[in-house]
Amino acid sequence: MPQKIVQSITSMPPLLAGAMAMLCYSGSFIAVRDVAGVVPPAGITFLRCTIAIIILFPFCRKSLCAQWPIIRKCWKFLALQGLLIIVCGNGVMFVGLQFTTAINGSLINSAEPVAIVAAAWMIFRDRLAVIQWLGVLISLAGVFYLVGRGSLDVLLNLELNIGDILVLISIVCWAVYAVLMRRVPPELDRLNFLFAILVAGAITVFPFWILENIYYLPTPITWTTAGVTGGLAVFASILGLLWWNRAVEGLGASRAGLLLHLIPVYTVILAVWLLDEEPFIFHAVGIGLIGIGIYLTTVHQHGSAATD
């Protein structure tokens, strides 16, 4: 990964970076759900981290040596961030997707912006302005309308299971990770930060991967496994996280969190494009509400609202 490419990724406008990150996560959401029961979740998490580490190492080896004193000084924080986003955030989400539907997962994941706002308030006493809260609520309504296919009956008839609880746990961990991003040492290169949390995540999930192979489902050595984990390594572990971190640092965790509502939007677009699914009016209404909410919260700012 040449330095110019890395610089272009990490210096991308925060709003665009967040939108690109959500596109990566939407694709990974579909991919993981598609191989549920075939490639186990701990195997996906460990292998995608390992592949990403192998890809990144040649490009950040020298800077890692130069910044080793910084990494060693804040290794506990880096380990915590790796645990939160790689294992408890993505890993637990992958486990949850083994047991729940894509619709349930999307619906529960839509609570992420609210979870980030709550975490920012509890940890740092941050708050949003009224106009930004209005944006959150409008966008949330758009997600509900989109997932419910424009029908209240669809939402009322959703059945929750253990997978939904795991998805809920994952979004709480994701929220804490996003809020704690402000404590990343400013002098620490962002590629080195990513490398460090991927190493922490791989080390933490390794024992679970071993237990999964023994007691649940061995990770199959197939082209499917290679394709899924390789794709996730590039688009979710590297590009997705670099762009997401850029969005959080540039917009603040609370406002960047609302961009997660783009995941069901991208899912609809990908389904229409790749799976030839038919678009309906409720798709346009839901996407429109989400767009208005994101505009109010991230672009249209009034007064002296305090954000993170």
Q: Exposed, middle or buried, 15 (CB in 10 Å: 0-12/13-18/19+)?
A: middle
Contacts of 173 (CB under 8 A, 6+ apart): 84, 85, 88, 89, 92
- Estimate to the nearest angstrom the gap between the alpha carbon of 308 and the chain centroid: 19
The pLDDT, as a whole number, for residue 302 is 39
Any idea where the domains of the chain sit in the sequence?
19-299
Half-sphere exposure of 13 (CA within 13 A, CB side): 5
Residue 213 CA to residue 92 CA, distance in Å, equals: 17
Rounded Cα distance, 195 and 63, in Å: 11
Residue 172 in contact with residue 118, Cβ under 8 Å?
no
d(CA 242, CA 191): 8
User: Residue 149, SS3?
Assistant: coil
* Nearest Cα to Cα of residue 41 among 232, 270, 268: 232
Q: What is the pLDDT of residue 104?
A: 65
Predicted local confidence at residue 17, as pLDDT: 94
Contact 71, 197 (CB under 8 A): no
Q: For residue 150, what are its two tokens?
A: 């424009």
- Identify the DSSP state of 174: H
* pTM of the shown model: 0.84
Tens-binned pLDDT, residue by residue, of the chain (308 aa): 556 767 777 789 999 999 999 999 888 877 887 888 899 999 999 999 999 999 999 989 999 999 999 999 999 999 999 999 999 998 998 888 788 766 667 667 777 887 888 888 888 887 777 877 787 788 788 777 776 767 778 777 767 678 878 888 898 899 999 999 999 999 999 999 999 999 999 999 999 999 999 999 999 999 999 999 999 999 999 999 999 999 999 988 878 888 887 887 787 777 677 656 677 787 788 778 877 877 776 665 534 344 44
Question: Is 258:297 a contact under the CB 8 Å cutoff?
Answer: yes
Round to whole Å and give the CA distance between 81 and 257. 17
Structure tokens at 131: 């106009």
Name the region of 149 (left: φ>0; alpha: ψ -120 to 50; beta: rest).
Answer: left
